[in-house]
Amino acid sequence: MKFIKFLLGLTTLTASTIGFAQNSSEKEWQQVYDAREAIYEKNIGKLPNDIMKAPNLFGIWPGGGFYVIPADKIKKGLWVYSTFGFTNSDMPSTVTATEIEVEHDNQGRVISSSSKLEKKSETIPLSGKAGHGYEVLMIAKENAEWPLWFMQWTGNIVLLNDVDLLARVEKNNGLTVEAIPVGNDENDTINVLITKAQKPLPTDIKLPNGNMQLLVATVITDEEMEWSIENGRDALLKKLMDANIGQISDRNRPSVLK
């Protein structure tokens, strides 16, 4: 659970400073970034000037980070928390980070960070896909800290543990994950259902470097979690859509099964 420490020290940078890896040309990288930005601003909302980056991912994800976006294009009052860079032209990374050390002050701010970069023994080519082929979103009714814990968890499992979320979603018609930490208290956790984006979000996206899918993580109750295991993740998504909850996360809502 070491990643919890890193989340508390998310660093905010201006988008122009995020950089790109050497296995991608600057021109190509910028074209992909600009195309993705245009899609987000058309369908979700205007990107803020600052992007948040996790110190433990600096070396392997130099051009990526997390955005908190006022989602006015979906519905006023909603917020989208999103990875932004899984589909970069320099992804998947050919290196991984080990011996990660991050030092914080007493307010949780990063003082220093270091890690050792090691070349991966194998990088699986993703034919036809833009980088990893997807970005991950969470849509919430509040501007809060807890969704950022989820985004940090996502960054770690994809970039440090090489988990292909899109492949798992496609294989199982959705993916459920139980008890993801979203706070300092060990009991502060969420369950999520991860599925492909539903309308009004775009469902088939083409970037200059390949195809991109949006995956949306929706907070679900313990009861819904258990029900989906027996009845299917796609069946749970249908119930959420029919109940007009859709893919919006609300930690305080009642179960759709009651």
Domain count across the chain: 1
What is the rounded (10 degree) CA torsion for 106, 108, 113, 119? 150
Give the confidence band of 147 by pLDDT, cuts at 50, 70, 90. very high
Q: Looking at the domain assignment, is residue 224 inside a domain?
A: yes
Contact 197, 258 (CB under 8 A): no
What's the mean per-residue pLDDT of the chain? 85
Q: Looking at the domain assignment, is residue 254 inside a domain?
A: no
pLDDT for the residue 120: 63
pLDDT for the residue 251: 95
- The C-alpha angle 8, 12, 15, rounded to 5 degrees, equals 145
> Quick one: what percent of the chain has pLDDT higher than 90?
64
Q: Looking at the domain assignment, is residue 256 inside a domain?
A: no
Contact 105, 40 (CB under 8 A): no
Tokens read off for 37: 């930005």
Mean pLDDT score, 234-257: 96
Q: Looking at the domain assignment, is residue 125 inside a domain?
A: yes
Evaluate if residue 161 carries a pLDDT over 90: no
Give the confidence band of 186 by pLDDT, cuts at 50, 70, 90. confident
pLDDT for the residue 243: 96
What is the rounded (10 degree) CA torsion for 228, 231, 235, 239? -70
Helix (H) / strand (E) containing 39: helix 26-43
Beta strands 129-140 and 248-249 are parallel
The span from the CA of 217 to the CA of 138, in Å, is: 5
Mean pLDDT score, 71-97: 90
Cα dihedral across residues 37, 89, 148, 193: positive or negative? positive
- Structural domain boundaries enclosing 76: 3-249
Q: Looking at the domain assignment, is residue 258 inside a domain?
A: no
pLDDT for the residue 117: 56
| One-letter amino acid of 91 | M
Q: Looking at the domain assignment, is residue 201 inside a domain?
A: yes
Q: Which residue has the higher pLDDT, 56 or 209?
A: 209
Q: Looking at the domain assignment, is residue 255 inside a domain?
A: no
Q: Looking at the domain assignment, is residue 257 inside a domain?
A: no
pLDDT for the residue 201: 96
